[in-house]
Amino acid sequence: MRGFSLVELLIVITLLAILGLLSVNSFSRAKHIAAFSASQATLRQVETALELGIVHTLETVGDIDFPLTQITSQDQITNSNILSNILWGFTLPQNTTLTFAVNTSCFSSNCTQAVIGVDHTSACKTIQKTQFGDGAEVVISLPKNAPGC
């Protein structure tokens, strides 16, 4: 007899299906890790923009107390005079939500000078940084309940 039996073909197809499922799972995990890395990079960009923006804002406007706000599009930054000054030169990446607050008159450990939260839709964790007036900083990563996490 020449060729393969039905059992041999079913075993090969089953093995290929298992390998395919494993590769999809690995791809999904890599996607979540890459999205979290993008969140970390966004946090660093916001910090840099904030440092530049606060200097500029203090020179032109004076002290400001901007309340905690969720920013989901670049238009929110562009259309807000205060945000475009505070986040000077920052561009919000796609699929990212920025939670942001700043109080430039805070110079003690009893108050929060800035809160920055970054949430990428494909990441399984959000990242949040709290900066206090005395220079202390706290950075935490929080897991989130998202599909595939």
- 148 assigned to some structural domain: no
Per-residue pLDDT of the chain (149 residues; tens, 9 = 90+): 678 888 999 999 999 999 988 888 788 888 889 999 999 999 999 999 988 888 777 777 778 888 999 999 999 999 988 888 888 889 999 999 999 999 988 888 788 999 999 999 999 999 999 999 898 999 999 998 877 77
- For residue 93, the 8-state DSSP code is P
DSSP letters of 103-149? ETT--STTSEEEEEEEEETT-SEEEEEEEETTS-EEEEEEE---TT-
- Could you give the number of structural domains in the chain? 1
- Read off the pTM: 0.77
Place of tokens 């970054």: 118
Q: How far is CA 85 from CA 113, 117, 121, in A?
A: 16, 19, 26
What type of residue sits at position 129?
A: K
Instruction: Say which residues have a Cβ less than 8 Å from residue 110's Cβ, sequence separation at least 6.
Output: 133
Q: Tell me the C-alpha distance between 96 and 83, whole Å.
A: 17
Can you give the residue range of the structural domain that contains 64? 6-143
CATH number at residue 89: 3.30.700
Q: What is the CA radius of gyration of the chain?
A: 23
Q: Tell me the C-alpha distance between 53 and 84, whole Å.
A: 8
- 149 assigned to some structural domain: no
- 1 assigned to some structural domain: no
Token pair for 115: 């809160």
- 16 assigned to some structural domain: yes
